[in-house]
């Protein structure tokens, strides 16, 4: 299976919207995390989304290069090759890109897609996210309109955000914002639709109290009905076909009841990062604790090569990430719903 074509990606989103389920969108930073994600989607019989953040791209490029766009390109090309060995569809996406990073991150990746298309291939990424939540909505949508037009020319979908997701992730810290900033208004949702409709396909990360990072149950007050009310306002004015493809950011740690409720309001993509990071790291820590004398050359001893070989503990990390992502497929009802080979 190659990475989904633009037409297959549209079919994936339509299938999720019509079927009442959503795709896990997992952030990756390495070959190992890509492999864990692909294994999870395949074993779940679920299509899915693999995404790269600016920080993830910078990490993947290596400490000597530290180039966000170049690292994202490396991870994307690796995914295109590795995905051919599996029997589900995956789409490639980039996560939060703020206005100041558009020229250094998003546009080089759009140029890479132009080059691939000129060679008779599909775009490098299926979709990109522009996060204009750091500026006022009018400025956000002015920039979004231009980027959406660029993406549409390449058969790429643009995700935008209005309102701010709380917490901190990958250097993006909104933890000091007042609570009201965490909730997108109905009026804002209507304005987003009216501004972007007709330019190209887009996804909308409306905020309803969601927060990046780890938090204890009950500490975050999600209001999924914000999504319902905004969607209803748009559809009452423009018809059922105006229902927007919504994105749930900060999905890690969320209550299952809240996750499932959002599926009824048009959420077709949920980002997961914190929970899969923890799932990846925990078996590594356990391995180190259980094999400390073999991993470290203590008191002049030679250690145990089998225990400090990175392949040993990274295989455990890959499997643990895979297991956690399969839970996410179950939560989002995407398990068993792959459209691979059906279109």
Contacts of 84 (CB under 8 A, 6+ apart): 1, 2
Distance from C-alpha of 169 to C-alpha of 240, rounded to nearest angstrom: 35
DSSP 8-state secondary structure symbol assigned to residue 102: I
Mapped onto helix, strand or coil, the DSSP state of residue 119 is coil
Instruction: Give the residue among 28, 205, 228, 283 at the shortest CA–CA distance from 37.
Output: 28
Half-sphere exposure (Cβ direction) of 299: Cα atoms closer than 13 Å:
2
Task: Please tell me which residue in 47, 67, 68, 95 is annotated as part of the active site.
Answer: 95
The whole-angstrom separation of Cα 316 and Cα 285 is: 11
Q: Is 323 a catalytic residue?
A: no
202: left (phi over 0), alpha (psi -120 to 50) or beta: beta
Q: What is residue 129's three-state secondary structure?
A: strand
Helix, strand, coil percentages (3-state) for the chain, rounded to 5, are 50, 15, 35
All residues at 6 or more sequence positions from 294 whose CB lies less than 8 Å from its CB, including other chains: 303, 304, 306, 307, 308
Residues designated as active site: 95
């Amino acid at each position: 299976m190659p990475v989904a074509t633009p037409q297959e990606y549209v079919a994936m989103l339509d299938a999720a919207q019509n079927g009442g389920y959503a795709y896990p969108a997992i952030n990756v930073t390495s070959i190992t995390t890509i492999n864990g994600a692909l294994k999870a989607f395949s074993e779940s019989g679920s299509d899915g989304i693999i995404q790269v953040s600016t920080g993830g791209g910078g990490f993947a490029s290596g400490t000597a290069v530290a180039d966000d766009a170049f690292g994202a390109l490396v991870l994307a090309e690796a995914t295109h090759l590795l995905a051919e060995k599996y029997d589900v569809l995956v789409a490639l996406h980039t996560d939060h890109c703020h206005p100041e990073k558009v020229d250094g991150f998003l546009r080089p990746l759009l140029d890479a897609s132009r080059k691939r298309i000129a060679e008779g291939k599909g775009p490098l990424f299926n979709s990109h996210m522009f996060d204009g939540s750091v500026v006022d909505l009018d400025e956000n949508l002015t920039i979004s309109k231009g980027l959406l037009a660029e993406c549409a020319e390449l058969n790429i979908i643009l995700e935008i955000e209005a309102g701010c997701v709380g917490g901190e992730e990958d250097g993006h810290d909104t933890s000091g914002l007042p609570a009201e900033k965490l909730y997108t208004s109905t009026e804002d949702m209507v304005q987003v639709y009216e501004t972007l409709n007709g330019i190209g396909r887009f996804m909308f990360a409306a905020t309803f109290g969601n927060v990046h990072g780890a938090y204890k149950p009950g500490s975050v007050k999600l209001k999924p009905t914000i999504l319902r009310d905004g969607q209803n306002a748009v559809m009452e004015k423009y018809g059922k076909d105006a229902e927007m493809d919504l994105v749930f950011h900060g999905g890690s740690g969320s209550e299952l009841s809240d996750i499932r409720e959002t599926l009824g309001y048009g959420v077709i993509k949920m980002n997961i990062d914190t929970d899969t990071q923890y799932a990846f790291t925990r078996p590594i820590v356990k391995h180190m604790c259980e094999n400390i004398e073999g991993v470290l050359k203590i008191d002049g001893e030679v250690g145990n090569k089998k225990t400090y070989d990175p392949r040993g503990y990274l295989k455990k990390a890959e499997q643990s990430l895979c297991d956690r992502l399969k839970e996410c497929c179950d939560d989002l009802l995407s398990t068993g719903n792959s459209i691979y080979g059906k279109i």
